[in-house]
């Protein structure tokens, strides 16, 4: 079983849709959870950072962590064409290196 | 994006060539990383340097050789690569290691013929 599982997609939605991106993981020691966004021909950039379980909201983006299910989600409300990118989940245990998912490629069509 | 720079952005090399990738960070961070990104695969951590000391080598073949002369610069020396080494090579830096936020460069797109 992979340590972090993420469906690579691709995922295509119309503008204005609510997007749900997900990752599952197997290591119960993970406590720090991140979402990175990677535009074409660019490096990943941090979008959301969450510690332990719960929700975090930032504008149109909401990150959720369910440690009991080993499941994390990123929701994008009112999606825009500028949200078209690859979204990577990442997580780490204390004092351990980060582990990344494969990334989900998202296209938001006008 | 200018916080971490990488050169060259694109590189095509034959299997017998020797080349080097360069990374520079302007963020005052202490840790630097090399990752390999292949299509539909998770980012693969290759090397970690913390305060110029290598702290991790993730079973990377010896045809990849890192060098970290100071906390701001990181190199990846390439020698006798294979076609399956073709990928996007990303450099990142962070204040410390572990869960500290990593800042990525734009990557070097490497093609091995």
pLDDT at A22 exceeding the cut of 90: yes
| pLDDT for residue B58 | 75
CA B4, B30, A89, A4 torsion-angle sign: positive
Distance from CA of B53 to the nearest CA of A (A): 15
Judge: A102–B103 Cβ closer than 8 Å, yes or no. no
| pLDDT for residue A69 | 94
pLDDT at A72 exceeding the cut of 90: yes
- The CA-atom distances, in angstroms, between A5 and each of A9, A21, A36, A60, B104 are 12, 12, 15, 24, 22
Summarize pLDDT for B41-66 with one digit per residue, the tens: 889 999 999 888 888 777 899 999 99
Judge: A6–B56 Cβ closer than 8 Å, yes or no. no
**Phi–psi pair at A74, nearest 5 degrees:** -125, 125
| pLDDT for residue B99 | 83
The whole-angstrom separation of Cα A11 and Cα A106 is 5
**Does the beta carbon of B34 lie under 8 angstroms from any beta carbon of chain A?**
no
Name the β-bridge partners of A75. Answer: A20, A62
The whole-angstrom separation of Cα B33 and Cα B75 is 10
**Residue in B with minimal Cα distance to A94:** B98
**Residue in B with minimal Cα distance to A34:** B101
Mean pLDDT of A87-100: 90
pLDDT at B2 exceeding the cut of 80: no
| pLDDT for residue B53 | 85
List the one residue out of B9, B35, B53 whose CA is nearest residue B92.
Answer: B35
Judge: A101–B42 Cβ closer than 8 Å, yes or no. yes
For testing contact with chain A, the best of B23, B25, B31, B102 (most A CBs within 10 A): B102
pLDDT at A53 exceeding the cut of 90: no
**Does the beta carbon of B48 lie under 8 angstroms from any beta carbon of chain A?**
yes
What's chain A's average pLDDT? 94
Summarize pLDDT for A54-70 with one digit per residue, the tens: 899 999 999 999 999 99
Judge: A92–B99 Cβ closer than 8 Å, yes or no. yes
The whole-angstrom separation of Cα B27 and Cα B40 is 30
The whole-angstrom separation of Cα B82 and Cα B113 is 8
| pLDDT for residue B61 | 93
Mean pLDDT of A101-107: 95
> Using an 8 Å Cβ cutoff, are A13 and A71 in contact?
no
């Amino acid at each position: 079983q992979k340590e972090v599982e993420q469906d690579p997609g691709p995922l295509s939605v119309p503008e204005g849709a609510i997007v749900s991106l997900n990752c599952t993981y197997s290591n119960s020691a993970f406590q720090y959870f991140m979402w990175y966004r990677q535009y074409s021909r660019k490096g990943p950039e941090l979008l959301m950072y969450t510690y332990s379980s719960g929700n975090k909201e930032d504008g149109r983006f909401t990150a959720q962590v369910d440690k009991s299910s080993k499941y994390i989600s990123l929701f994008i409300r009112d999606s825009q064409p500028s949200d078209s990118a690859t979204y990577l989940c990442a997580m780490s245990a204390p004092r351990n290196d980060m582990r990344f998912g494969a990334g989900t490629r998202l296209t938001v069509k006008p | 994006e200018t916080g971490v720079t990488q050169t060259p952005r694109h590189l095509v090399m034959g299997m017998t060539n020797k080349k080097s990738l360069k990374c520079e960070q302007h963020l005052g961070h202490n840790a630097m990383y090399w990752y390999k990104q292949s299509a539909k695969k998770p980012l693969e951590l290759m090397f970690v340097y913390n305060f110029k000391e290598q702290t991790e080598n993730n079973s990377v073949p010896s045809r990849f050789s890192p060098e970290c002369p100071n906390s701001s610069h990181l190199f990846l020396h390439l020698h006798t690569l294979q076609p399956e080494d073709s990928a996007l090579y990303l450099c990142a830096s962070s204040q410390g290691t572990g869960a500290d936020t990593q800042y990525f460069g734009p990557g070097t797109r490497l093609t091995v013929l």
